Structure 1
Amino acid sequence: METTSRVAGQSAQGAPDGTQPPPEGVPASRRTVDGYLRAPFPWYGLDEAFTGPRWLMQVTAAADGTVQHGSTGHGDEPSIRPEVTGAADRERFAVVVSIPANPVRRSGDGTGILEATSVSSAAWLAGSGLLSFTWPAQMDHVLRGDWLDQQTETAWELADDLEGPHWTTLSLPVDGVPTPFHYRESEFGWVLAGSAGSGVHLGAYGRGLSAYGLGFSVIEDIASYA
């Protein structure tokens, strides 16, 4: 799969460096817009048909400070607290991941080569993102690390096989233009990935909101999410 070294590097726990969610309980209002404003590519979110809350998540930057990808949230902020009985069933959210489409290129410090990014990169980020907000209620803290490692590796393998049997295709509007997406469902939620016409690959994941009714568009004012 073409990625930026598993999308800008991968930690020992299997998640891309810098993509871990903020600590539990940190509200979106405390996440700043600064990193988003430094991105050399447009950010995407749900289009105007979605009228619910919108919130910032996080961006990932390279060692030289170049923003590589990031996410924006829509709806209820998801919780991974298993002790909140039925919380996951009540949550309705969708997260949109934006990652620029890049060819093979040199790293910012000129010391190496970064692999290209692709739709599979967006699928991987979306799949691992969904897992970051998933925690089976019957599982204790000690076992969650092993579970997350296993599930994250599975998400990586699925993202590397977008033409495989685990994915279907659907057409969703991007800036008003029907666009094909790869789509899959799991017990944790849904994941989809495709490309916008502006040189950006899009990933998305969510629960409670049907992916079939979504549309995406460029965010004209990212500060409105803060």
Structure 2
Amino acid sequence: METTSRTAAQSTVGDSPAAGPQRTQPGRPSAHRTVDAYTRASFPWYGLDGAFTGPRWLMRVSSAADGVVQHGSMGHGHEPSIRSEAGALEKERFAVVITVAAVPVRRSGDGTGVLDATTVSSAAWLAGSGLLGHTWPAQLDHSLRDDWLEQQTETAFELADDLDGELWSTLSLPVDGEATVFHYRESEFGWVLAGSPGGGVHIGAYGRGMSAYGLGFSAVEDLSQYL
């Protein structure tokens, strides 16, 4: 299995999917800027399919130094928040879908180095770190969260590099109606999955309060449903 690097999974510039949701409304400049970022992508975006009838919202797009879009996220359900009070996390029901461009080994945007190929492990790490970005254990002191987050993110990176390990299972979910195998794991904070359906993308997802077993994914034909 190819090694996933943080360079491959993260963007050189832009926001990571661990950042909070960016809620937009049609007609506002922020909405236009957000949609424009999605429309610049050379690959299709994926979200939950039509079986999901709840709220949808745009999150973040990450681009390389040369402006090429690398990955981005779309939210479904409740907008997740970082809350530490006991029982708060259990009340949230959301699923975030991350689309990652499938690209080979390539030169960095500034031409000074080489970036690793993106793989399904890239999607798994982005999903794992994204879930952690919306997690704050109730027993954790505010001053210790940064240390906890750094430690847990390192663990998520290591897990993403071992998708065949015992901490992962597999499940088959539909992508554009075709059964696709995903790597899947659960934790006390939620679930994470990642797969490669083809079509030039890898798909990662994370969520809480919604069962991953009943999900389906499809290419987003109309971004307006996320505004």
TM over 0.5: yes
State the partner residue of 2:74: 72
Instruction: Name which of 15, 18, 29 aligns with 2:15.
Output: 18
AA of the residue aligned to 2:67: G
Once residues 8 and 155 of structure 1 are traced to their aligned partners in structure 2, the CA distance between those partners, rounded to angstroms, is 14
State the partner residue of 1:48: 50
Normalised TM-score (structure 2): 0.90
Instruction: Name which of 58, 61, 64 aligns with 1:62.
Output: 64
Once residues 169 and 217 of structure 1 are traced to their aligned partners in structure 2, the CA distance between those partners, rounded to angstroms, is 19
Normalised TM-score (structure 1): 0.90
State the partner residue of 1:151: 152
Q: Name the SS of the counterpart of 1:117 in structure 2.
A: coil
Where has structure 1 moved over 6 Å in runs of 4 or more? none
AA of the residue aligned to 2:15: G
Once residues 200 and 49 of structure 2 are traced to their aligned partners in structure 1, the CA distance between those partners, rounded to angstroms, is 18
Q: Deviations over 1:151-170 (max 9, x none)?
A: 00000000000000000000
Higher mean alpha-carbon deviation, 134-143 vs 198-207, is at 134-143
- How far the C-alpha of 1:28 sits from its partner, in A, is 5.0
Identity percentage of aligned residues: 68
Q: 1:17 to 1:3 in 2, by over 3 A?
A: farther
AA of the residue aligned to 2:221: E
**Structure 2: where are the runs of 5+ without partners?**
none
- How far the C-alpha of 1:100 sits from its partner, in A, is 0.9
- 2:11·2:70 contact (CA, 8 Å) conserved in 1? no
AA of the residue aligned to 2:19: P
- 2:20·2:81 contact (CA, 8 Å) conserved in 1? no
- 1:8·1:17 contact (CA, 8 Å) conserved in 2? no
- How far the C-alpha of 1:88 sits from its partner, in A, is 1.1
- 1:4·1:115 contact (CA, 8 Å) conserved in 2? no
Q: Deviations over 1:17-36 (max 9, x none)?
A: 7314148xx64546621211
How many residues end up aligned between the 2 structures?
Answer: 218
State the partner residue of 1:13: none
Once residues 151 and 11 of structure 2 are traced to their aligned partners in structure 1, the CA distance between those partners, rounded to angstroms, is 18
Q: Name the SS of the counterpart of 1:156 in structure 2.
A: helix
Q: Name the SS of the counterpart of 1:39 in structure 2.
A: coil
Q: Name the SS of the counterpart of 1:33 in structure 2.
A: helix
- 2:8·2:118 contact (CA, 8 Å) conserved in 1? no
**Structure 1: where are the runs of 5+ without partners?**
11-15
Q: Name the SS of the counterpart of 1:99 in structure 2.
A: strand
- 1:91·1:207 contact (CA, 8 Å) conserved in 2? yes
RMSD in angstroms over aligned alpha carbons? Answer: 1.9
